[in-house]
Protein backbone atom coordinates (compact mmCIF):
# COMPACT_ATOMS: atom_id res chain seq x y z
CA UNK A 1 0.00 0.00 0.00
CA UNK A 2 1.28 3.45 -0.89
CA UNK A 3 1.94 6.03 1.84
CA UNK A 4 -0.98 8.41 2.52
CA UNK A 5 -1.17 11.54 0.40
CA UNK A 6 -0.68 14.78 2.32
CA UNK A 7 -1.95 18.17 1.21
CA UNK A 8 0.85 20.37 -0.06
CA UNK A 9 -0.91 23.40 1.41
CA UNK A 10 -1.03 22.02 4.95
CA UNK A 11 0.56 24.33 7.52
CA UNK A 12 2.00 23.03 10.76
CA UNK A 13 0.37 24.37 13.89
CA UNK A 14 2.65 25.58 16.70
CA UNK A 15 1.36 24.33 20.06
CA UNK A 16 4.62 24.85 21.95
CA UNK A 17 3.02 27.28 24.38
CA UNK A 18 1.21 24.36 25.99
CA UNK A 19 2.90 22.14 28.51
CA UNK A 20 2.00 19.04 30.45
CA UNK A 21 0.39 19.00 33.86
CA UNK A 22 2.31 17.83 36.90
CA UNK A 23 3.04 14.34 38.22
CA UNK A 24 0.13 11.97 38.63
CA UNK A 25 -2.31 14.16 36.72
CA UNK A 26 -4.31 13.10 33.68
CA UNK A 27 -3.84 15.13 30.51
CA UNK A 28 -7.14 16.43 29.16
CA UNK A 29 -8.03 18.54 26.15
CA UNK A 30 -9.75 21.06 28.41
CA UNK A 31 -6.71 21.58 30.63
CA UNK A 32 -3.62 22.04 28.50
CA UNK A 33 -2.60 25.57 29.25
CA UNK A 34 0.45 26.11 31.42
CA UNK A 35 -1.33 29.08 33.02
CA UNK A 36 -3.14 27.00 35.58
CA UNK A 37 -5.00 28.78 38.36
CA UNK A 38 -2.86 29.48 41.39
CA UNK A 39 -3.44 27.29 44.44
CA UNK A 40 -2.65 28.53 47.95
CA UNK A 41 -1.28 26.04 50.47
CA UNK A 42 -1.14 26.74 54.19
CA UNK A 43 0.90 24.93 56.85
CA UNK A 44 0.50 25.80 60.52
CA UNK A 45 2.01 25.24 63.93
CA UNK A 46 -0.40 25.20 66.87
CA UNK A 47 -0.01 26.01 70.53
CA UNK A 48 -0.92 23.44 73.18
CA UNK A 49 -4.46 24.81 73.38
CA UNK A 50 -4.94 24.31 69.63
CA UNK A 51 -4.46 27.92 68.53
CA UNK A 52 -2.45 28.45 65.36
CA UNK A 53 0.26 31.03 65.85
CA UNK A 54 2.71 30.36 62.97
CA UNK A 55 1.58 29.79 59.40
CA UNK A 56 3.46 29.29 56.13
CA UNK A 57 1.44 30.22 53.05
CA UNK A 58 2.75 29.47 49.57
CA UNK A 59 1.20 29.71 46.12
CA UNK A 60 1.84 27.04 43.48
CA UNK A 61 0.45 25.34 40.35
CA UNK A 62 -0.72 22.27 42.24
CA UNK A 63 -4.15 20.95 41.35
CA UNK A 64 -5.62 21.39 44.84
CA UNK A 65 -4.39 22.62 48.24
CA UNK A 66 -4.26 18.98 49.37
CA UNK A 67 -1.52 18.26 46.83
CA UNK A 68 2.08 19.18 47.56
CA UNK A 69 3.16 22.58 46.21
CA UNK A 70 4.31 22.16 42.61
CA UNK A 71 6.89 24.22 40.73
CA UNK A 72 8.82 24.04 37.48
CA UNK A 73 12.25 25.44 36.65
CA UNK A 74 12.21 29.21 36.40
CA UNK A 75 9.04 29.56 38.49
CA UNK A 76 8.80 32.10 41.28
CA UNK A 77 7.97 30.84 44.76
CA UNK A 78 5.79 33.41 46.51
CA UNK A 79 3.84 33.42 49.73
CA UNK A 80 3.75 34.82 53.24
CA UNK A 81 4.78 34.01 56.79
CA UNK A 82 2.07 34.85 59.32
CA UNK A 83 2.43 35.11 63.11
CA UNK A 84 -0.70 35.45 65.23
CA UNK A 85 0.36 36.28 68.80
CA UNK A 86 -2.25 36.58 71.54
CA UNK A 87 0.25 38.29 73.87
CA UNK A 88 3.62 39.99 73.72
CA UNK A 89 6.00 37.38 72.28
CA UNK A 90 9.77 37.53 72.03
CA UNK A 91 10.82 37.03 68.42
CA UNK A 92 14.55 37.18 67.73
CA UNK A 93 14.29 36.39 64.02
CA UNK A 94 12.48 34.61 61.20
CA UNK A 95 14.25 32.85 58.32
CA UNK A 96 13.11 31.01 55.20
CA UNK A 97 14.95 28.32 53.27
CA UNK A 98 14.42 26.27 50.11
CA UNK A 99 16.64 23.19 49.89
CA UNK A 100 17.30 20.28 47.57
CA UNK A 101 18.81 17.07 48.95
CA UNK A 102 19.97 13.79 47.49
CA UNK A 103 19.23 11.11 50.08
CA UNK A 104 20.44 7.51 50.10
CA UNK A 105 19.81 4.96 52.88
CA UNK A 106 22.28 4.72 55.75
CA UNK A 107 24.31 7.72 54.64
CA UNK A 108 24.41 11.47 55.07
CA UNK A 109 22.32 13.39 52.55
CA UNK A 110 23.96 15.63 49.95
CA UNK A 111 22.50 19.13 49.88
CA UNK A 112 22.94 20.39 46.32
CA UNK A 113 20.71 23.48 46.60
CA UNK A 114 20.03 26.00 49.35
CA UNK A 115 18.25 29.33 49.05
CA UNK A 116 18.06 31.22 52.36
CA UNK A 117 16.35 34.50 53.25
CA UNK A 118 16.31 36.44 56.51
CA UNK A 119 12.68 37.50 56.78
CA UNK A 120 12.84 39.34 60.11
CA UNK A 121 15.43 40.21 62.72
CA UNK A 122 14.97 42.01 66.02
CA UNK A 123 18.26 43.76 65.26
CA UNK A 124 16.86 45.29 62.09
CA UNK A 125 15.24 44.36 58.77
CA UNK A 126 17.77 44.68 55.92
CA UNK A 127 15.03 44.23 53.31
CA UNK A 128 13.26 47.43 54.41
CA UNK A 129 16.43 49.56 54.54
CA UNK A 130 17.84 51.33 51.48
CA UNK A 131 21.38 50.39 50.52
CA UNK A 132 22.39 54.06 50.63
CA UNK A 133 21.30 54.31 54.26
CA UNK A 134 23.21 51.20 55.39
CA UNK A 135 26.55 52.18 53.91
CA UNK A 136 27.32 54.56 56.77
CA UNK A 137 24.89 53.47 59.46
CA UNK A 138 23.52 50.17 60.88
CA UNK A 139 19.92 49.07 60.23
CA UNK A 140 17.33 50.61 62.57
CA UNK A 141 16.69 48.60 65.75
CA UNK A 142 13.57 46.48 66.12
CA UNK A 143 11.57 45.47 69.17
CA UNK A 144 12.12 41.89 70.34
CA UNK A 145 8.52 41.52 71.52
CA UNK A 146 5.74 41.42 68.93
CA UNK A 147 2.00 41.29 69.43
CA UNK A 148 -1.08 40.61 67.30
CA UNK A 149 -1.11 39.49 63.67
CA UNK A 150 2.12 40.07 61.74
CA UNK A 151 2.68 39.02 58.12
CA UNK A 152 5.82 39.06 55.95
CA UNK A 153 5.58 38.31 52.22
CA UNK A 154 8.39 36.46 50.48
CA UNK A 155 9.34 35.74 46.90
CA UNK A 156 12.27 34.08 45.14
CA UNK A 157 12.97 32.41 41.79
CA UNK A 158 13.95 28.76 41.50
CA UNK A 159 17.18 28.54 39.49
CA UNK A 160 17.32 26.29 36.46
CA UNK A 161 20.84 25.14 37.26
CA UNK A 162 23.06 24.54 40.25
CA UNK A 163 26.83 24.52 40.68
CA UNK A 164 28.44 21.55 42.41
CA UNK A 165 32.04 21.52 43.61
CA UNK A 166 34.18 18.43 43.19
CA UNK A 167 37.73 18.90 44.37
CA UNK A 168 39.12 21.93 42.56
CA UNK A 169 36.46 21.85 39.86
CA UNK A 170 33.00 23.40 39.83
CA UNK A 171 30.44 21.99 37.39
CA UNK A 172 26.99 23.24 36.44
CA UNK A 173 23.98 20.89 36.25
CA UNK A 174 20.25 21.33 35.68
CA UNK A 175 18.24 20.81 38.84
CA UNK A 176 16.88 17.23 38.91
CA UNK A 177 13.20 16.47 39.32
CA UNK A 178 11.78 15.42 42.66
CA UNK A 179 12.04 11.67 43.07
CA UNK A 180 10.15 9.97 45.88
CA UNK A 181 9.30 6.42 44.89
CA UNK A 182 8.36 3.62 47.25
CA UNK A 183 11.03 0.95 47.27
CA UNK A 184 13.65 3.14 45.59
CA UNK A 185 17.09 3.37 47.17
CA UNK A 186 17.51 7.05 46.39
CA UNK A 187 15.37 10.14 46.96
CA UNK A 188 15.58 13.66 45.55
CA UNK A 189 13.78 15.87 48.05
CA UNK A 190 12.95 19.58 47.91
CA UNK A 191 11.70 21.34 51.03
CA UNK A 192 10.43 24.83 51.83
CA UNK A 193 10.72 25.76 55.51
CA UNK A 194 10.47 28.71 57.88
CA UNK A 195 12.13 28.98 61.28
CA UNK A 196 11.03 31.31 64.07
CA UNK A 197 13.71 32.05 66.69
CA UNK A 198 12.37 33.06 70.09
CA UNK A 199 14.00 33.89 73.41
CA UNK A 200 16.89 32.00 74.95
CA UNK A 201 14.69 29.71 77.03
CA UNK A 202 12.02 29.19 74.38
CA UNK A 203 12.20 26.50 71.70
CA UNK A 204 12.74 27.36 68.05
CA UNK A 205 9.67 26.79 65.87
CA UNK A 206 9.91 25.29 62.36
CA UNK A 207 7.15 24.86 59.78
CA UNK A 208 8.01 23.13 56.52
CA UNK A 209 6.63 21.21 53.56
CA UNK A 210 7.93 18.96 50.84
CA UNK A 211 7.78 20.55 47.39
CA UNK A 212 7.43 18.85 44.00
CA UNK A 213 9.89 20.24 41.45
CA UNK A 214 9.83 19.44 37.72
CA UNK A 215 12.43 20.73 35.25
CA UNK A 216 11.35 22.09 31.89
CA UNK A 217 12.66 19.65 29.27
CA UNK A 218 11.42 20.11 25.70
CA UNK A 219 12.26 17.83 22.74
CA UNK A 220 13.23 19.15 19.34
CA UNK A 221 10.49 18.94 16.71
CA UNK A 222 10.16 15.63 14.77
CA UNK A 223 10.56 15.42 11.00
CA UNK A 224 8.10 17.32 8.76
CA UNK A 225 6.56 14.01 7.63
CA UNK A 226 5.87 12.95 11.22
CA UNK A 227 4.46 16.38 12.08
CA UNK A 228 2.11 16.19 9.10
CA UNK A 229 0.99 12.72 10.12
CA UNK A 230 0.21 14.02 13.62
CA UNK A 231 -1.62 17.05 12.30
CA UNK A 232 -3.71 15.17 9.73
CA UNK A 233 -4.04 12.12 12.00
CA UNK A 234 -2.75 9.83 9.27
CA UNK A 235 -0.51 6.74 9.67
CA UNK A 236 3.18 7.43 10.16
CA UNK A 237 5.48 6.95 7.18
CA UNK A 238 8.13 4.37 8.03
CA UNK A 239 11.92 4.72 7.95
CA UNK A 240 12.17 3.42 4.39
CA UNK A 241 10.37 6.54 3.09
CA UNK A 242 11.31 9.04 5.84
CA UNK A 243 14.92 8.41 6.77
CA UNK A 244 15.15 11.87 8.34
CA UNK A 245 12.44 11.03 10.84
CA UNK A 246 13.75 7.71 12.20
CA UNK A 247 16.73 6.40 14.13
CA UNK A 248 17.41 2.86 12.91
CA UNK A 249 19.54 0.47 14.94
CA UNK A 250 21.90 -2.06 13.40
CA UNK A 251 20.16 -5.32 12.43
CA UNK A 252 20.56 -8.16 14.92
CA UNK A 253 19.69 -11.85 14.77
CA UNK A 254 17.21 -13.23 17.30
CA UNK A 255 17.89 -16.96 17.41
CA UNK A 256 16.20 -19.91 19.04
CA UNK A 257 14.59 -23.30 18.55
CA UNK A 258 11.25 -23.95 16.87
CA UNK A 259 9.13 -26.71 18.47
CA UNK A 260 12.31 -28.13 20.01
CA UNK A 261 13.02 -29.53 16.54
CA UNK A 262 15.04 -27.06 14.50
CA UNK A 263 17.10 -23.94 14.97
CA UNK A 264 15.99 -20.68 13.46
CA UNK A 265 17.14 -17.09 13.35
CA UNK A 266 15.28 -13.95 12.42
CA UNK A 267 16.93 -10.66 11.45
CA UNK A 268 15.41 -7.76 13.40
CA UNK A 269 15.82 -4.07 12.59
CA UNK A 270 14.32 -1.68 15.15
CA UNK A 271 13.62 1.99 14.38
CA UNK A 272 12.57 4.78 16.76
CA UNK A 273 11.11 8.15 15.81
CA UNK A 274 13.58 11.03 16.07
CA UNK A 275 14.57 12.93 18.05
CA UNK A 276 15.25 10.38 20.78
CA UNK A 277 13.50 12.56 23.35
CA UNK A 278 9.86 11.93 24.24
CA UNK A 279 7.36 13.78 26.42
CA UNK A 280 5.62 12.11 29.34
CA UNK A 281 2.03 11.07 28.61
CA UNK A 282 2.82 10.61 24.89
CA UNK A 283 4.36 7.61 23.12
CA UNK A 284 7.61 6.38 21.56
CA UNK A 285 6.75 5.46 17.94
CA UNK A 286 8.47 2.29 16.66
CA UNK A 287 8.92 0.26 13.49
CA UNK A 288 10.25 -3.30 13.50
CA UNK A 289 11.42 -5.03 10.34
CA UNK A 290 11.65 -8.85 10.50
CA UNK A 291 13.44 -10.98 7.88
CA UNK A 292 13.71 -14.78 7.75
CA UNK A 293 13.81 -17.46 5.06
CA UNK A 294 11.90 -19.83 7.37
CA UNK A 295 8.32 -18.74 6.63
CA UNK A 296 6.84 -20.68 9.54
CA UNK A 297 9.23 -19.07 12.02
CA UNK A 298 8.63 -15.66 10.47
CA UNK A 299 4.86 -16.02 10.76
CA UNK A 300 5.13 -17.11 14.40
CA UNK A 301 7.51 -14.34 15.46
CA UNK A 302 5.81 -11.51 13.57
CA UNK A 303 2.57 -11.75 15.54
CA UNK A 304 1.71 -8.74 17.69
CA UNK A 305 2.54 -10.55 20.94
CA UNK A 306 5.93 -12.06 20.02
CA UNK A 307 8.36 -9.08 19.90
CA UNK A 308 9.41 -7.80 23.30
CA UNK A 309 10.58 -4.19 23.34
CA UNK A 310 10.51 -2.28 26.62
CA UNK A 311 11.31 1.07 28.13
CA UNK A 312 13.97 0.67 30.83
CA UNK A 313 14.88 3.12 33.58
CA UNK A 314 18.34 3.14 35.08
CA UNK A 315 19.36 5.03 38.21
CA UNK A 316 23.07 5.45 38.84
CA UNK A 317 24.68 7.04 41.88
CA UNK A 318 28.43 7.08 42.32
CA UNK A 319 29.56 5.69 45.67
CA UNK A 320 31.14 9.00 46.65
CA UNK A 321 29.59 12.11 48.12
CA UNK A 322 31.24 14.94 46.15
CA UNK A 323 31.60 17.02 49.32
CA UNK A 324 32.71 14.27 51.71
CA UNK A 325 35.85 12.37 50.65
CA UNK A 326 35.62 8.67 51.39
CA UNK A 327 31.88 8.64 52.03
CA UNK A 328 29.81 5.82 50.55
CA UNK A 329 26.29 5.43 49.25
CA UNK A 330 24.66 2.07 49.96
CA UNK A 331 24.25 0.58 46.46
CA UNK A 332 21.38 2.77 45.21
CA UNK A 333 21.87 1.74 41.55
CA UNK A 334 18.90 0.07 39.90
CA UNK A 335 17.54 -1.00 36.51
CA UNK A 336 13.79 -1.28 36.08
CA UNK A 337 11.81 -2.64 33.14
CA UNK A 338 8.86 -0.37 32.52
CA UNK A 339 6.19 -0.29 29.83
CA UNK A 340 6.19 -2.83 27.00
CA UNK A 341 5.62 -1.86 23.37
CA UNK A 342 2.36 -2.78 21.67
CA UNK A 343 2.46 -3.86 18.01
CA UNK A 344 0.26 -4.10 14.94
CA UNK A 345 0.92 -4.80 11.23
CA UNK A 346 2.10 -1.70 9.43
CA UNK A 347 -0.89 -0.40 7.41
CA UNK A 348 1.08 0.24 4.22
CA UNK A 349 4.48 -1.42 4.59
CA UNK A 350 3.48 -5.03 5.36
CA UNK A 351 3.61 -7.44 2.41
CA UNK A 352 0.38 -9.15 1.41
CA UNK A 353 2.11 -12.38 0.40
CA UNK A 354 2.32 -14.78 3.35
CA UNK A 355 5.30 -16.45 1.67
CA UNK A 356 7.34 -13.23 1.72
CA UNK A 357 10.54 -13.29 3.74
CA UNK A 358 9.86 -9.87 5.28
CA UNK A 359 7.35 -8.57 7.80
CA UNK A 360 7.06 -5.01 9.13
CA UNK A 361 5.33 -4.14 12.38
CA UNK A 362 4.47 -0.73 13.70
CA UNK A 363 4.30 -0.10 17.44
CA UNK A 364 4.64 2.33 20.29
CA UNK A 365 5.56 2.49 23.94
CA UNK A 366 3.09 4.46 26.04
CA UNK A 367 4.77 6.83 28.48
CA UNK A 368 2.97 7.34 31.81
CA UNK A 369 2.54 10.89 33.06
CA UNK A 370 4.18 9.84 36.33
CA UNK A 371 7.59 9.08 34.78
CA UNK A 372 10.39 10.98 36.45
CA UNK A 373 12.24 12.86 33.69
CA UNK A 374 15.85 12.29 32.72
CA UNK A 375 18.29 13.80 35.23
CA UNK A 376 22.03 14.29 35.61
CA UNK A 377 23.47 15.84 38.77
CA UNK A 378 27.16 15.10 39.28
CA UNK A 379 27.17 11.48 40.52
CA UNK A 380 23.38 11.08 40.29
CA UNK A 381 21.84 10.01 36.97
CA UNK A 382 18.38 8.94 35.84
CA UNK A 383 18.36 7.77 32.25
CA UNK A 384 16.16 5.66 30.01
CA UNK A 385 16.65 3.24 27.16
CA UNK A 386 14.50 1.31 24.73
CA UNK A 387 15.60 -2.32 24.78
CA UNK A 388 14.90 -5.27 22.49
CA UNK A 389 14.60 -8.60 24.34
CA UNK A 390 14.40 -12.18 22.98
CA UNK A 391 11.03 -12.93 21.41
CA UNK A 392 8.38 -14.95 23.23
CA UNK A 393 5.93 -17.16 21.34
CA UNK A 394 4.31 -20.57 21.81
CA UNK A 395 6.57 -23.18 20.22
CA UNK A 396 9.64 -20.90 20.21
CA UNK A 397 12.49 -21.22 22.71
CA UNK A 398 14.88 -18.28 22.69
CA UNK A 399 18.60 -18.97 22.69
CA UNK A 400 19.22 -16.17 25.21
CA UNK A 401 17.66 -15.40 28.61
CA UNK A 402 14.39 -13.59 28.06
CA UNK A 403 15.16 -11.01 30.79
CA UNK A 404 18.44 -9.89 29.20
CA UNK A 405 18.33 -7.18 26.50
CA UNK A 406 19.80 -8.07 23.13
CA UNK A 407 20.04 -4.46 22.01
CA UNK A 408 19.24 -1.03 23.44
CA UNK A 409 19.39 2.66 22.66
CA UNK A 410 19.35 5.49 25.18
CA UNK A 411 16.44 7.95 25.09
CA UNK A 412 15.45 11.05 27.06
CA UNK A 413 12.16 11.65 28.87
CA UNK A 414 10.91 15.25 28.65
CA UNK A 415 8.24 17.24 30.49
CA UNK A 416 7.03 19.62 27.76
CA UNK A 417 5.67 19.21 24.25
CA UNK A 418 7.84 19.93 21.24
CA UNK A 419 7.01 22.66 18.75
CA UNK A 420 4.35 21.64 16.29
CA UNK A 421 1.32 19.34 16.42
CA UNK A 422 0.77 17.15 19.47
CA UNK A 423 1.85 13.49 19.12
CA UNK A 424 -0.87 10.99 18.26
CA UNK A 425 -1.29 7.57 19.87
CA UNK A 426 -1.89 5.10 17.04
CA UNK A 427 -2.35 2.04 19.23
CA UNK A 428 -5.85 3.28 20.09
CA UNK A 429 -6.69 2.93 16.40
CA UNK A 430 -4.97 -0.36 15.58
CA UNK A 431 -4.77 -2.36 18.86
CA UNK A 432 -7.98 -3.87 20.30
CA UNK A 433 -8.63 -2.97 23.92
**pLDDT tens column, 108-165:** 688 999 999 999 988 765 454 333 444 444 544 555 678 778 999 999 999 999 998 8
**pLDDT tens column, 160-191:** 999 988 778 899 999 999 999 887 888 999 99
Please determine, for residue 214, whether its predicted confidence score (pLDDT) is greater than 80. Answer: yes
**H/E segment holding residue 96:** strand 93-103
Q: Which fold has domain 224-430?
A: Immunoglobulin-like (2.60.40)
Q: Which of 87-91, 104-108, 111-115, 379-383 is predicted least confidently?
A: 104-108
CB 369, CB 360: distance < 8 Å: no
pLDDT for the residue 85: 82
pLDDT for the residue 90: 81
Average pLDDT score, the chain: 83
CB 2, CB 348: distance < 8 Å: yes
Indicate the pLDDT class of residue 21, thresholds 50, 70 and 90: very low
CA distances from 280 to 344, 364, 370, 385 (A): 22, 13, 7, 14
Please determine, for residue 215, whether its predicted confidence score (pLDDT) is greater than 90. Answer: yes
Question: Is it true that domain 39-214 has CATH number 2.60.40.640?
Answer: yes
Average pLDDT of span 276-299: 95
DSSP string, 271-297: EEESSSEEETTSEEEEEEEEE-S-HHH
pTM, two decimal places: 0.82
Delimiting residues of CATH 2.60.40.640 domain(s) in the chain: 39-214, 224-430
Amino acid sequence: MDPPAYSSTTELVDTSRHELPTYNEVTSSSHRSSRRAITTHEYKMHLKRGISWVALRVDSKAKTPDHLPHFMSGDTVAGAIVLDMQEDTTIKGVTLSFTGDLIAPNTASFEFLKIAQEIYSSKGDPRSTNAEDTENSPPPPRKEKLHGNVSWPFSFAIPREVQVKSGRNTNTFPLPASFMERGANITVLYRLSITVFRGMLLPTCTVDTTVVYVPRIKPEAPSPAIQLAYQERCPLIGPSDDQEGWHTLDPIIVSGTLFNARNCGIVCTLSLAKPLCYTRSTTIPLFLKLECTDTQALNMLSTESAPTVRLRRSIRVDNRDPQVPGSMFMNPNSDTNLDKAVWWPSPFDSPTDDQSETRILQGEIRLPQSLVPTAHLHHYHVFYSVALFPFQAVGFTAAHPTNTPLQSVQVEIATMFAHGPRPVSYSALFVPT
